[in-house]
Structure 1
Amino acid sequence: MKEIKAIIRPAKLLEVTEELQSIAGLPGVTVSEIRGFGKSRAKGAKDKVMYEMVEFIPRIQLEVVVDDAMVDAVVNVIQKYAHTGNTGDGKIFVSTIDDIIKIRTNERGRDAL
């Protein structure tokens, strides 16, 4: 199992999530509003936010855990629909998940997805 974590522009959220929902068997997606900065340190960004004299840019973080067989499909959708070609499009991280426990049913592993 893999966790896919993507940081994308807020304006791309609807497009990305609509396409993710079309992937059969996708267990679900967690969406969080976040702020941060990259190599350019938010210089010149139109949508930057000041917090204690540090400039941050608002972004969306998507998280999803899937079977290994679904990784390419999920990554491809995020890459295609989050892309603008401009600096600050975001990043996609893929990590290995050792175990999952569903709290309600106590199921483990793939059954917990």
Structure 2
Amino acid sequence: MKEIKAYIRKKQLDAVINALAQVQGLSGVSVNTITGFGRSRGILRMVDFETHLKVEAVCPDNVKDAVVRTILDAAHTGKRGDGKVFVTEVAEAWRIESKDEIRPAL
């Protein structure tokens, strides 16, 4: 399984979520409001925190490429500050309700 974290512009959320809803094999996403700074800090010579959104999803390995491509396409404006996408390996996952290990659908 893969965990995908995407940091996107707030105004791109609807496009990203609507596009991700069409990806077969993706069971859901989480969205959080975050603040931080990126490459522009050196240009301004002071830290200005920007508000972005973090979209997180865990999916089977065979769905990862579709999820990443969908986010890249839907979040893209072509301007600095569009965001980043990170992919990491998930070693284990457990459902709290039933205490069952979550196994990805193949």
TM-score (norm: length of structure 1): 0.85
Consecutive unaligned residues in structure 2, runs of 5 or more: none
Q: Does the Cα contact within 8 Å between 2:76 and 2:82 map onto a contact in 1?
A: yes
- Give a deviation string over 1:53-108, Cα, whole Å, max 9, x none: 84200100000000000000000000001001100000000000000010001110
Consecutive unaligned residues in structure 1, runs of 5 or more: 45-52
Q: Does the Cα contact within 8 Å between 1:42 and 1:56 map onto a contact in 2?
A: no
- Within a 5 Å distance, the mapping from 1:1-113 to structure 2 comes to 1-41=1-41, 54-110=47-103
Partner of 1:48: none
Q: Does the Cα contact within 8 Å between 1:3 and 1:96 map onto a contact in 2?
A: yes
CA–CA distance in 1 between the matches of 2:39 and 2:25?
A: 36
Deviation at 1:23, TM superposition (A): 1.1
Question: For residue 101 of structure 2, what is the amino acid of its counterpart?
Answer: R
Give the aligned CA root-mean-square deviation in angstroms. Answer: 1.7
Q: Number of matched residues?
A: 103
Q: Does the Cα contact within 8 Å between 1:5 and 1:62 map onto a contact in 2?
A: yes
Question: For residue 79 of structure 1, what is the amino acid of its counterpart?
Answer: L
What secondary structure is seen at the aligned counterpart in 2 of 1:110? coil
Q: Does the Cα contact within 8 Å between 2:25 and 2:59 map onto a contact in 1?
A: no
Percent identity, aligned pairs only, is 44
Moved beyond 3 Å, runs of 4+: none
TM-score (norm: length of structure 2): 0.90
